[in-house]
Amino acid sequence: MRVLAYELRRLRSLRSTWLIVSAVVCCDVAAAVVLTRQLPAGPLSTTEAVRAVTALVPLLPLPFAALGAGALGALSYRHEVRYPGLAASRVTLLRRLWLLVGKLVVLAPVALALAVLTLTLDALAVRLALPTGVTLGVFDDPVLRPELFVDGAPVGPARSLAAFVLLVVVSGWAGLLFTAVVRSAVAGLLALLAVPVLLEPAAAMALSRLGDSWPLWAQELMPFRFSLGRFGLGSGLGSRLGLASSARPGPVAGLAPAGVAELLVTLAVPGVVLLLGCLLAQLRRRAL
Amino acid sequence: MIQTTGLTKTYRRRRPPAVLDLTFDARPGVVTALLGAEGAGKTTAVRLMVELERGLGITLFGGRTYRSLRRPEREVGVLLPTGTAAMGHPGQRAYCHLRMLAASIGVPARRADELLEQTRLAGIADHRLRSFSPGMSRRLGLAAALLGSPGTLLLDTPTDGLSPRSAEWFHSFVRSFAVAGGTVLVTTRTPEEAAAVADRVITLDQGRLASDQPAGEFRRARLHHEVSVRGPQMARLADLLTGQGGEVRPDGTTGIAVTGIGRTEIGELAYRHGILLHELADRVVDRPAQHLALPTTSGRSGHVQLQAQPQAPHQGSYQGAHPSPLHTPPQPPAHTPHQATHQAHHPAAHPDSPSDSPPAQAEPQAQPQLQSQSRGPDHQRGRRHARISAIDTDPLSTEHLMADWPQTPEQRVPDEQRGSAGEPAHPELFHEHTVSAAHSVGAAHPIGSEHHSHHSHYSEHQPDTTVTHPAPGPDHLSE
């Protein structure tokens, strides 16, 4: 409890926290507006809607909200490295691990709140900035159509949005843990940015070996497949990996439960490696 | 109660150990000072004690090691110097910083506010730490160390780079903490500070325990008494005193420092020969070491000077600004711990006073060398020090360096005061002059703490009584 109280006070009392949150919100809204302006005329598709609402910028490895959460995590650890308030009382391993766990626990709801906030504001921005040719289609008045957000709906964005929120939280944790390994916020953030660049093709390769492809809700959040396809670069690579753009309507319903499990394992392995790295680093150190 | 046994630390193989077999106790109700020059291993020793470093040896705080204490912040308050100037995140406000630390050790936020009051930071509590001076940062660090109301304090160079006023505040705080029954271990670089603050002084020399003395013994063994005399006819008086068997060295343009003859005898001698005196006062300096004056031009001295004079850039600029017209400036008397440590090892090898007239041709070579050596391998530390000193633009902060160079009368005031006790005694009391100053430090300085001045026109009537000379006005204090 003491660790949680400490971390909350620390997070609240720093100006950088509020600066990061406001910068994320500004970038997000701006990107959402620009993406909405570029939409082709006609009814809004699910993919386009998700991309606009989560403000996915092409070739940026992570959404802004995920980046912001990662930055919060990285700075949180760097504070302990550079300005140890009570350095002597962090000598024992158990105290350091508890502090790390406390930081992760506090970071999760903060990242969650950041994701929900950006989603709300982006949805508002998309609605307001919609160009004249585009109609909302099925998204017209989504409050009255709850079936859109029920899991498994053919065109529903529910899974994608949940995946986005999860992505933001995991990015926050990953920023914190990478910084815990390298003890530098900048290096930690760079490592965080490198993860999707490496992980996306690797996971796709693993999936193609198994004869699966990315589920649709995951495809909608992927930075490189989308942009490579848009710039005409991805077709060769994609077809070689069995991920032709034509697969976009995608076998969401046809995806076997085993496929989801494989995907989760593929994504979880780096996380476990990272946690072990943190543990080993803490074992060797005398300070955070 | 701190019991330290056999602390040993070697940073690199085949290098001399930073700390070697350091064993000592710090008892409750007593201020224990760990005295050593730069690089003597004080900080390493403190870090070993709280196990921030891996090393050999065991330190027990009330019978348990630091990491096995259940709630270490509630039993031992630790103040370690940080790499940065500020004690915490520079963007954080002071009260936020302290409340955050209070939350981390399970203390109500009210306690943090109380400590801000106690450390006189309440008025500036809502300012960001980046605007804090070294003295304010150190006070904030002390407040953080005190959050859990510990019974033991471990302070690593708490007054390093502080203005004398802040240092004096620290001293009085530390003494009152010990009087209330707490155990205090303070590290320091200057013997004067150790003598002023501590009841027991442990001297470290290159990581080894050089001596472990009660403060009285330490003062007798390590601090040196001399009489400072000023007046217009000092050359003649110096001849007379040398004839009487005293040892005289020049002290500024119009002063001499006399060893071996008492204050009253000097006064009588001057009176009999009709020599006008402007000042006649006892003072305490760190025991000057002979070999320091000689090898400034030899290759070996660089090492000694480097460790001894961390503030040498100041000194160099001061010399450049005020070349001594009459005397060749004497070598700075050994206010420096390193020299004194050598003295403790070889007391017989170094007679008390340097030569009366240092060779004049040696000086111009010596001074540039002194300046350049100070930017040697230790330049980083020196720069930091210079920056801190530049923030504390208090003339008193460098007064121990300037003490023996030509001075204006205003500058002489703190010099004189320092001479009385080796510590900056309450500047605000100073206009009541030395009686009160001597009184305030009387407990800590049984020897040589009386500080009187002697005027020849007074001694006409009462040659043996000491008379305080008129108090300098309060305008001297504002500097």
Choose the weakest-confidence range: A64-68, A80-84, B386-390.
B386-390
Q: Do B80 and A286 touch (CB under 8 A)?
A: no
| Contact by Cβ (8 Å): B221, B203 | no
Q: What percent of chain B has pLDDT over 90?
A: 29
- Look at residue A225 in the predicted model and tell me its pLDDT: 58
Is the per-residue pLDDT at B384 higher than 70? Answer: no
Q: Do A86 and B101 touch (CB under 8 A)?
A: yes
Rounded mean pLDDT, A151-178: 82
pLDDT tens track for B123-159: 999 999 999 988 889 999 999 999 999 999 999 988 8
- The upper half-sphere exposure of residue B429, i.e. CA atoms within 13 Å in the direction of its Cβ, equals 14
Nearest-by-CA chain B residue for A288: B52
Band of residue B271 on the pLDDT scale cut at 50, 70, 90: very high
Out of A213-217, B193-197, B418-422, the most confident range is B193-197
Q: Looking at this predicted complex, what is its ipTM? A: 0.81
| Residue range(s) of every CATH 3.40.50.300 domain in chain B | 2-220
Band of residue A199 on the pLDDT scale cut at 50, 70, 90: confident
Comparison of pLDDT for A265 and B113, the residue scoring more: B113
Is the per-residue pLDDT at B255 higher than 60? Answer: yes
pLDDT tens track for B305-347: 333 344 444 433 333 334 334 444 444 444 444 443 344 444 3
How far is the C-alpha of B250 from the C-alpha of B360, rounded, in Å? 13
CATH architecture of B2-220: 3-Layer(aba) Sandwich (3.40)
Q: Is B201 on the interface with A (CB under 8 A)?
A: no
Name residue, tokens 């979880």. Answer: A268
Q: Are strands B19-26 and B2-9 parallel, antiparallel or unpaired?
A: antiparallel
Query: Which chain B residues are Cβ-neighbours of A83 within 8 angstroms?
Result: 82, 84, 86-89
Band of residue B388 on the pLDDT scale cut at 50, 70, 90: very low
Is the per-residue pLDDT at A241 higher than 70? Answer: no
pLDDT tens track for B164-176: 999 999 999 999 9
Band of residue B254 on the pLDDT scale cut at 50, 70, 90: confident
Q: Is A287 on the interface with B (CB under 8 A)?
A: yes
User: What 3-state class would DSSP assign to A153?
Assistant: coil
Choose the weakest-confidence range: A62-66, B29-33, B399-403.
B399-403
Rounded mean pLDDT, B66-95: 86
Q: Is A284 on the interface with B (CB under 8 A)?
A: no
Write out the residue range of the structural domain in which residue A103 sits: 2-284
Burial of B308: CB neighbours in 10 Å, binned 0-12, 13-18, 19+: buried
Comparison of pLDDT for B34 and B285, the residue scoring more: B34
Rounded mean pLDDT, A27-40: 90
Rounded mean pLDDT, B33-60: 90
- Look at residue B185 in the predicted model and tell me its pLDDT: 95
Q: What percent of chain A has pLDDT over 90?
A: 41
Comparison of pLDDT for B149 and B351, the residue scoring more: B149
pLDDT tens track for A86-120: 888 888 899 999 999 999 999 999 999 999 999 99
Which residues between 74 and 103 in chain A have a beta carbon less than 8 angstroms from any beta carbon of chain B?
Answer: 79, 82-89, 91-92
Name residue, tokens 């160009």. Answer: A131
How far is the C-alpha of A166 from the C-alpha of A114, rounded, in Å? 11
Nearest to B72 by CA among B50, B47, B102: B50
Is the per-residue pLDDT at A168 higher than 70? Answer: yes
| Phi, psi for B33 (deg, rounded to 5) | -110, 140
Domain count, chain A: 1
